[in-house]
Each structure stands twice: as C-alpha cells, then as structure tokens.
Structure 1
Amino acid sequence: MNRKIQGFIGLIGVVFIGIVVGCKEKKAKGELPMVSMPIEINKDSIVDKQKVVQELSISPYEALEALSDTTFVNLADYSEDFVFDMRYATENNFLKAKVYDCAECYTRVKTAKALLLANEDLMKKGFKIKFFDCYRPHDVQFKMWAIVPNPQYVANPVRGSIHNKGGAVDITLVTLEGEELDMGTDFDFFGKRAYHDNLDLPPTVLNNRLLLKQTMEKYGFWSIRTEWWHYNLASGSNDEIANFKWECP
C-alpha cells in the first residue's frame, strides 16, 4: 500500500470518529428521527470530498478501493460522467411531494464501484447513466409510506428497501450529450408498459431497455419485473438499513 492511500485511510479514520461522536451527541439530544421500529445509524464513515482524491493524485476508483465496501459515498464526487435528476428532491414524482431536503446521490462503495464500471462500459457505446434515486434514508421511507401506504408502490418501511441499504438505484440512459433514451414510459410509471416482460413495445424501446438491463446485470445488478428503471446490487441486500442524512448546502 503506497503512502498516498495510507494517508487517505488515515483521513477516513478521522472522519469516522467525528461522525460517530456527532451521532452519539445527536442521539443523546433526541435529534435523530423517531420511527416505529428500531433502526441503526450506519457505523461506516461518509466520504464525499473529491478534493481529497485530487490532492492525493489517485483515481476515483483507487480512492474507493481504499474504503470499506459498506462505506457511503457521494457518486458525484467520484465521477463527472453521471447525470442526475433526483426526483424525490422535487415534487415531480408519483408522490407529488418533496421528501428529500436536497438532491444528492449516495450509495455504498461496492455499489459505486459497480456503477463506475457499468458507466465506463456504456460510454464506450455512446451512452451514460442518469439517476432518479439512490440511497434513501430510512426515515424518508416512512415519509413515503405515510403518503402512499401501498406495498405495490412503496416498500413497507418496517421491512425496508434496498434503497435504504445503499444498494439500489433508479436509473435510465442518456446520450453523451444528455438526451434521454426512449424507455417507453417515464420514471415511476406504474403499469404494464413499464414491465420488463412486456414485449408489446416499439423495437427502439425494447433495445434501449435491453442495453440497460444487460449492462447492469454484467456488473452485478438485478432488476425487478415491474420497473424498467430499478436495479439492485446483488450483494447489497444483506447490508444494514441506514438512516444518515447528508448535509445540504
């Protein structure tokens, strides 16, 4: 291990200690959200300082390699090649409500690494990934359930979602110029037209969905039948539900 990576790991330790202390203080003051079942604050550090990577002169992937797979990171800090349209930080979603204080896309390190590889593959073909949703704090899951308490549309927060574990993303594809590919429906369209096994769609739509699906599966993700946009990292389902919130500007 070279000195740069050792220095990076040391910095992570400092960040981790600060976060743990901060969480304990907030818990003691009753500032952490109250929910109807016990939840655990994720014990890993949250690393979102791209300038640290730049100062160490290592690639984003090398920086991720120096972290625990279960650490949360902000994707925007590790690649400028992603596109973001975080719908739940707006009212432009099926809930018709803003449930995030501000728009950020966090995932676990292992999810981020798989997404970087998938996006690199797609960019060679002229496309890149656009995100609608990423990690979702557990108390946001409760907010969504309060608005739409139907497991057909929102995962019951008692059980939780892989979104709450940092292992799920809602995505589509865009061209390198940012133009969305036609996937047949908008994000969060709940109907048969959004199903993966619905082949009664134009060839262009089917090909676009197939490109996304095959690429994501190649890098360890699996899809769900009813939502062409939703992908879970196979190794993410066993992680703990988390409830940290990122700081807003």
Structure 2
Amino acid sequence: MKAVFQILTLLFLYNVSAQESTLPPNFVYVQDVIPDVVLEMRYAGENNFLGMSVDGYKSPVAILSRPAAMALAKVQRELKEKGYCLKIFDAYRPQRAVNHFISWARKPEDTLKKAQFYPGLDKKDLFSLGYISTRSGHSRGSTIDLSIVDYNSGEEIDMGGAYDFFGERSHHNYTNITPAQKMNRSILKNAMMKYGFQPYSQEWWHYTYQPEPFPNTYFDFLVK
C-alpha cells in the first residue's frame, strides 16, 4: 500500500511539473498551489461584458506569477478559518485579450451586454473612466479579480455589486450599500492587503500583488 501511495505521489508531482513546464518561468497554475480555490473564469466563456469567449483564453484556468500565487495561498488559509473560500474570476490575462477589448470598444453598435455590465455608461467612455485599459496589470501576471464564497455551501458572498459591473457601485468607497455588504468587502480587502495585495479603487474585486516580479513586462502567452 505504501508503494502504491508513493507511486501516486510521484505521478501527481510529475503531472504538476509537466503542466508548469508549459508556462514561462516563475508562473504557476493557481489550483496547483490552492487546490480548493473556486474558479469561474469569465473570459473563457460568454458571461462577460463582451458576451463571448475572449481571445487568448483556451481553458478556464487561473495562472499567476509564483510569488502572487504563494501569497494568495496565505489569504485562502486565513479566510478558511473564518468559513470562506476564494473565488477567482480572472488572473493572468494575455495582451491579445486586452487587444480584443480594444477592438470591441471600437464597435459602438455592439452593446449585447450593456444592460448587465454597463447600463449607465456609453461604452466609448469605458477607457477614459478607467474600467478598461490598453495595457492591463493582469498581463504582468500578478493581478487578480476575485471574491469569496461560503466554504461549505459554495454560495457567493454578497458584495453589494456584481463582478465586472462598470459603475460607481463597484468602487471601494461606494457608500450606498448595506452594512453587511460593506463588511463583506472589508473581509476580502483586509485579508488581501495583509498578504501584499493592493486594491484598485474602482473595482472591489481587483488586487495586485506587490512587489510585482514582472512590473514592466506584458505577457501574451495563452491561458490553457
């Protein structure tokens, strides 16, 4: 029995090593570091502000720089003690995905998901308002979009606004939400900041690990 266990362990380590070998040095698959993390990789499917799978996303997996992933594992351990689990919507994002956002923004007639994601805004203003950028921190490999769920039920915790909603409701300083929703945002924010992740003021779900290992590099390898 011991020999079988050792063989299975070696096979697991081999598979992890083989999978990581497809990534650039110092990048990892988040689930290899945090096996119980919940993934809902929005840009690999159609439930996003474009309404389609985004260029560069071939599989619904989350990739981060190794330092960011290791820090995120500490966040997960702390949140589990409080009955929560991390849920990831996006992590590393290829530059070609950002280019897809740019080409989409140049098509004013394409408003398929306006009612859900940007009902109060004109899509041409999404760049100037800071919701979309021609260069994304996600492409540097240490930025992540995430929320928390109940660890036992898997039910998403109410943050007072949906992921990728473009509007003031998504801002960290937005006040027109309930005390419980404010507390839920604080639970995530406090845990993330404790382990080196800095928030983005306009999106309650968006955090960047500091110091970034690749602060000036915008990668374009596929998410697969």
Shorter-chain TM-score tier? 0.7 to 0.9
The CA deviation at 1:83 is 0.2
> Does structure 1 residue 80 correspond to structure 2 residue 35?
yes
> Does structure 1 residue 181 correspond to structure 2 residue 163?
no
Alignment of 1:69-148 (within 5 A): 71-99=26-54, 100-148=57-105
The CA deviation at 1:206 is 0.2
* Change in 2 beyond 3 A, CA 1:245/1:201: same
Point out 4+ residue stretches in structure 1 off by more than 3 angstroms: 53-56
The answer to whether the 8 Å contact 1:148/1:154 transfers is no
Q: Deviations over 1:53-80 (max 9, x none)?
A: 7999xxxxxxx9xxxx961110112222
Between the aligned partners of 1:72 and 1:116, the Cα distance in structure 2 is 14
The answer to whether the 8 Å contact 2:84/2:151 transfers is yes
Between the aligned partners of 2:105 and 2:200, the Cα distance in structure 1 is 20
Q: Deviations over 1:192-248 (max 9, x none)?
A: 11111112210110000001001100000111111101011121261521111144x
* Change in 2 beyond 3 A, CA 1:135/1:50: farther
- Residue number in structure 2 paired with 1:153: 131
Task: Give SS of 1:201's match.
Answer: coil
Between the aligned partners of 2:103 and 2:205, the Cα distance in structure 1 is 23
Task: Give SS of 1:174's match.
Answer: strand
- Residue number in structure 1 paired with 2:172: 196
RCO comparison, higher one (Cα < 8 Å, 6+): 2
**What is the aligned length?**
185
**Percent of aligned positions that are identical:** 34
Q: Deviations over 1:15-62 (max 9, x none)?
A: xxxxxxxxxxxxxxxxxxxxxxxxxxxxxxxxxx98217999xxxxxx
The answer to whether the 8 Å contact 2:189/2:199 transfers is yes
The answer to whether the 8 Å contact 2:65/2:141 transfers is yes
Between the aligned partners of 1:166 and 1:201, the Cα distance in structure 2 is 31
Alignment of 1:162-177 (within 5 A): 162-177=137-152
Between the aligned partners of 1:125 and 1:54, the Cα distance in structure 2 is 32
Q: Which runs of 5+ in 1 are unaligned?
A: 1-48, 57-63
The answer to whether the 8 Å contact 1:76/1:105 transfers is yes
* Change in 2 beyond 3 A, CA 1:188/1:246: closer
- Which of 52, 57, 67 aligns to 2:13? It is 52
Task: Give SS of 1:130's match.
Answer: strand
Between the aligned partners of 1:55 and 1:85, the Cα distance in structure 2 is 21
Between the aligned partners of 1:113 and 1:161, the Cα distance in structure 2 is 22
Q: CA RMSD in A?
A: 2.4
